[in-house]
Amino acid sequence: MDPVIGLDVAKGESQVQAFLARKHPFGKTFKFKYDTKGLQDFYVFYTEVERHTVAEPVIVLDSTGYYHIFTSHHKRCMSTI
């Protein structure tokens, strides 16, 4: 199984948990806001998972409403920096 980062997307923030394998969480769950600092914190976490597993994590979004659009767009933008 590839590493997975799950996002519970809500208005103003997301709850995050990564898994290296089924029932094997990576780090602790945390929340991040949809501001520059919060999105940078999420990107740093994403790259930590990637470095630890030597594989690109799959991001799974709880896409209720439209809040997931901003998060997925920002991830693409941050990866070009």
Task: Locate the domains of the chain by residue range.
Answer: 4-78
- pLDDT digit of tens for each residue in the chain (81 aa)? 789 999 998 888 999 999 998 889 999 999 999 899 999 999 999 999 999 999 999 998 876 666 555 555 555 555 554
Which residues on neighbouring strands pair with residue 46, listed in sequence order? none
Distance separating alpha carbons of residues 17 and 55, to the nearest angstrom: 17
Query: In the CATH scheme, what architecture does the domain 4-78 have?
Result: 2-Layer Sandwich (3.30)
pTM over 0.85, yes/no: no
Q: Are 9 and 64 in contact (CB under 8 A)?
A: yes
What is the Cα Rg of the chain in Å? 12
| Cβ neighbours, 10 Å, residue 53 | 15
